[in-house]
A = this chain, B = another copy of it.
């Protein structure tokens, strides 16, 4: 297992040094196809369903197997809404595009297997290194989880980049974990730590950038790591698989909008209430450190920040003892319990109890 600094460097150095080449979109498709075809055939003997035809036809073809379910999600990333070209890097953007969809598959308790990528880019990006570096970040993460790129689309746009990431996965039939399965008495858990992505976003908004030198050298590592939490999130694929295969969780959702919003989504779908203990929320230590220096409240970032892509799940008391303590080096925290719907979705801070209002991300306000 690599330490965090090494991983950070890996993520930073995944950009290509190849010169941009003049090519048509058909050249690009042929090039991506060469980079994925070896992978596809190597994977097909190991994986539960196998690839019949990948990139290069009107559609991709995958063999089905009885007793299995296909799980599929799509996620749109829009320039200047979901990311800014000048505050990320193409390889990090490629990583993140795939990561957010892998996170959705993990939140179903399923195994990711196949990806499609629809990407729209303006002409000046087409003739730059962007595309090569973007696919490098995307494909490096795909390799990490044995996911094969099997299709997609390439289009021109007027001036902004747009990416739609589609991931298909599989689980044993009926083995998916829905948002709707939580029952009163279940315990609420979350993987990893929260608030790092929101802190990274605020640092970006204040002008911090990947690998940019700053006056206070003591803060450099702290800032770099928090920026990466936002720009290069790690999906909890391993936890999703374990919880799904072992039938451990009664309900699950990934934290994309923010804990407060996503817990409310889960409770609404399950028709239950919840009581969260604020002292048990695993605030990212780097966020606490940053907030200490800036006199900010780290709990607000952890509750409403969004894009941490940790898994929020519920477990019946009988199953709680069977939970592993760590998967892929990531631990979990018990943050509360599920109650009846009538009790509402609440958070306790010491002796005070509040309604936990959904204050996470919304694209459109009503």
Q: Are A52 and B120 in contact (CB under 8 A)?
A: no
User: What is the copy number of this chain in the assembly?
Assistant: 2
Contacts of A254 in B (CB 8 A): 58
Contacts of A154 in B (CB 8 A): 76, 363
Cα(A173)–Cα(B49), bound, Å? 12
Q: Are B56 and A269 in contact (CB under 8 A)?
A: yes
Q: Are A162 and B72 in contact (CB under 8 A)?
A: no
Q: A27-B366, A64-B68, A78-B162 are in contact. Are A73 and B59 (CB under 8 A)?
A: yes
* Residue in chain B with minimal CB distance to A173: B63
Contacts of A53 in B (CB 8 A): 176, 178
Interface stretch of the complex, out of A104-112, A191-199, A201-209, A287-295: A104-112
Cα(A105)–Cα(B58), bound, Å? 7
Contacts of A26 in B (CB 8 A): 362
A222 within 8 A of B: no
Of B27, B70, B123, B160, which contacts A157 at CB under 8 A? Answer: B160
A151 within 8 A of B: yes
Q: A158-B80, A164-B164 are in contact. Are A62 and B56 (CB under 8 A)?
A: no
Contacts of A81 in B (CB 8 A): 120, 155-158
A271 within 8 A of B: no
Of B27, B70, B82, B114, which contacts A61 at CB under 8 A? Answer: B70
A:294-321 near B, CB below 8 Å: none
* Residue in chain B with minimal CB distance to A53: B178
Interface stretch of the complex, out of A17-25, A182-190, A211-219: A17-25
Contacts of A168 in B (CB 8 A): 70, 72
Q: Are A64 and B64 in contact (CB under 8 A)?
A: yes
Minimum CB–CB distance for A91 against chain B, Å: 21
